[in-house]
Amino acid sequence: ARLSMKFGKVGKAAAHAAYIAREAPYAGRLNKGERLEAKAVGNFPTWAEDQPNRFWQAADAYERANGTTYREMEIALPRELPPVQRLALVRGFVAQELGSRHAYQWAIHNPQAADGHEQPHVHLMFSERRVDGIDRDPGQYFRRHNAKAPEKGGARKGYGPYSGGYLSKAERVAHLKGLRQRWEIACNTALAQAGHTERIDLRSHAERGLTLPPERKQLPSEWRRPETRVAVLAFRQARAEHAKAQAEMAETLP
Burial bucket for residue 103 (CB in 10 Å: 0-12, 13-18, 19+): buried
Report which of 26, 60, 72 is spatially closest to residue 139, judged by C-alpha positions: 60
Single out the catalytic residue among 19, 104, 141, 159: 19
Residues with Cβ within 8 Å of 152's Cβ and at least 6 positions away in sequence, in order, are: 146
Give the three-state DSSP class for 164. coil
Would residue 48 be called left, alpha or beta, if left means φ above 0 and alpha means ψ between -120 and 50 degrees?
A: alpha
Residues with Cβ within 8 Å of 94's Cβ and at least 6 positions away in sequence, in order, are: 42, 104, 106, 124
Asked if 127 and 103 touch (Cβ cutoff 8 Å), the reply is yes
User: Among this protein's residues, is 162 annotated catalytic?
Assistant: no
Return the bridge partners of 70, or none.
8
The residues annotated with a catalytic role in the active site are: 19
